[in-house]
Structure 1
Amino acid sequence: MNKKSLLLITSLALATTVFVGCGNKTENADSSSNQAQASTSTDESTNKTTYPVSFDAFDSEGNIYTQTFTEAPKKVITNNQTSTELLLTLGLKDSIIGTGDLDTPIPEELKADYEAIPAIANKGDVAKEVVVGSGADLVIGRSASFKDDRYGTIPSLNEVGINTYVQLASKMNTDITLDTIIQDVRNVGVIFDVQDKATQLADSLQTTLDYIKSKVPTNAERKKVMLIVNYSGESFTAYGANASLQKEMLNVLNADNVIEKGGSVSLENIISTNPDHIVYVTANKNAAVDADAVDRILAEPTLQTVEAIKNKNIMTVDYTELMGYGYRTFDCLEKLAEAFYPETFK
């Protein structure tokens, strides 16, 4: 999906399915068990939200907490970049009272709106007391940030009247599909009563996903891929197949991550795994290293027999696209598809 496609109406507004909690807390519940239709949550004739609506939020341990919204949130804190981008794209800039630092440059069309939002975090760290004292009625973002030493645990926020919405794709203890990102868009549309805009975006993402799936050659040999970041030459970091969303992205592309578990790797790991493609992930915090990282990888003498280096099959994507759990994941998926299958995706 290119950025222009975000502005296209791809279908009529559809009735939305939301996640409804069936209890106050469930230990280590599977995300698929949390889905139920809420026939009273939307007015299908007008595509407007009829409050209250309820959703399940989960922490990094998999505990489930029901969140009930009696009206559209008015004072929102976003705990990661992609939740900020989603709210801005849906026209909700006036509802955001605070956000954290950017992992990567924000899209140009959202830059002015983003710069008007106060930053409440310094280098990704934010005290729970700051969140509680802000007057927020919702914190939205990834599960890993709902901790006592960061934005606050879900129960502690609920105790002071702050709801949470946790991105479904950020659930790390279960297999994740790209449909979870599309569902997040629809769910946020329900919560904020902007279903027309959310449906337009969600349908566009679904169209992109269906297109990519229809074009990827599934009868071909699976691609071997390495995802690396912060390349310094001697050592660097790789994202592993244990990252659920990224594993599924590669699976859609008939590809596999050659590194099973993410962490520090070396040039020897590139040589021994011999990937067909290397995806280099850029981030603001690594800007100095990232500037010429690809050139240095391609020029590294010890890597010249590696398939990805021989064929110059190395590309860059930014962290927010690959690791952010947001709608730009589909931009990244399309970029990867074009790089892996240039003859198919002309």
Structure 2
Amino acid sequence: MFAKPLLVLVASLAIALAVVACGADPTPTAPPTSTPVPPTETPAPAAQAAYVPVTVESCTAVQDEEGEVQTGTASYIYTEPPSRSITLNQHVTEVMLALELQEYMVGTAYIDDEILPQYQAAYQSVPVLAEEYPSREVILGQNPDFLYGGFRSAFGNDAAGSQEELNKIGIGTYLTSSICNIGSPDTLDDVYTDISSIGKIFGVSERADALVKALAEEVSKATSQAGSSGDAPRVFLFDSGDDAPFTATCCSMFTNMIETAGGKNIFDEVDGRWKTVSWEEVIDRDPELIVLTEADWSTSQEKIDLLLGNPALADITAVKEQRFVVLQFSSLVPGIRNATAIAELAEAVSQ
């Protein structure tokens, strides 16, 4: 279990200020519309008998009223593995499911697209607390001992509330480590760090190590087979937006992914992770390949129809040649899907 209030906080480190754009979440935070869900009973983790207390560092992030973000890290002691966990974003839910921890989950929320097929059965066993973020009331109603968030907004005032306040009432928290990469790119190492940290917290480090190894091998195989064909092809990620496209920039996981796959993000010099740009900028940069996100709020077919139906975009190389690649939104944020997505991108880039 997560140790109680002040006993658990070992240190708070590396506090930094940054504007919202440097760590902006790619999905909006909607006001909670959920209703309380009765708590479910969960067994104590099997690893508990042999569990050795661990100290695990988590990213922390708080946005103030002026739009600035305080990020840092805080270390916490876990004296036993959590048995009543809640995940607040899809990509972190899939980390838990990949580590076979579903029986220790009492809730999940905020699904952006389809859960991976191999985890569907496990996912169905976990109560869905809300389509987006559940309210703090709903969360506390489940009597959780651990909350795992993938975006800063998961611990916003309209969702679970601050990590500090949750820790004070004995609830452990973990926020994806890449959120603290203010001004520097997200990388696969961030994903591996998160998997390893969750493995330590739940006493399943061997599973975590095996998962990290498998993902790293998948990436290595994909990139070694991709080869080199001269200059890196220019690639544009089209997430959403009709009048002005929303895209991944400098510090997003996508930029790291496409570079690993042998391509170049045409907006890799723009600060932050995600930005709204203009179609004129896209035309000027003339992408040779366009990656389209598939998500509940914006389908890939809608974006294809827009690209092919707008005469102003007709001379873009990727549009003329209809070189489109579709990736689920969940593949573009730090998580277990990144490795497979890199393989798909490497194949597309090499063609």
Instruction: Tell me the TM-score normalised to structure 2 length.
Output: 0.77
- 3-state secondary structure, aligned to 2:336: coil
1:189 aligns with 2:176: no
1:286 aligns with 2:260: no
Tell me the CA shift for residue 78 of structure 1.
Answer: 0.3
- 3-state secondary structure, aligned to 2:209: helix
Tell me the CA shift for residue 238 of structure 1.
Answer: 1.8
1:91 aligns with 2:78: no
Deviations 1:250-302 (A, max 9, x none): 22233332222533334323211111211111111224xx4343244134332
Equivalence for 2:89: 80
Matches within 5 A, 1:1-346: 23-28=10-15, 50-60=51-61, 61-122=70-131, 124-144=132-152, 145-173=154-182, 174-217=184-227, 220-232=230-242, 234-243=243-252, 245-259=253-267, 260-261=270-271, 262-287=274-299, 290-323=300-333, 325-342=334-351
Equivalence for 2:32: none
Quick one: distance in 2 between partners of 1:192 and 1:87? 10
RMSD: 2.6
- Corresponding residue pairs, total: 300
Tell me the CA shift for residue 104 of structure 1.
Answer: 0.6
Give the residue type in structure 2 aligned to 1:330: A
Unaligned runs of 5+ in 1: 1-20, 30-45
Quick one: distance in 1 between partners of 2:9 and 2:124? 39
Unaligned runs of 5+ in 2: 1-7, 17-46, 62-69
Kept in 1: contact 2:258–2:265 (CA 8 A): yes
Quick one: distance in 1 between partners of 2:282 and 2:244? 11
Kept in 2: contact 1:58–1:64 (CA 8 A): yes
Tell me the CA shift for residue 126 of structure 1.
Answer: 2.4
Tell me the CA shift for residue 332 of structure 1.
Answer: 1.0
**Alpha-carbon spacing, 1:23–1:68, altered in 2? closer, same or farther (3 Å):** closer
Tell me the CA shift for residue 50 of structure 1.
Answer: 4.3
Higher RCO by CA contacts (8 Å cutoff, separation 6 or greater): 2
Deviations 1:154-198 (A, max 9, x none): 111100101112222333413332122123222222221223322
Tell me the CA shift for residue 120 of structure 1.
Answer: 2.0
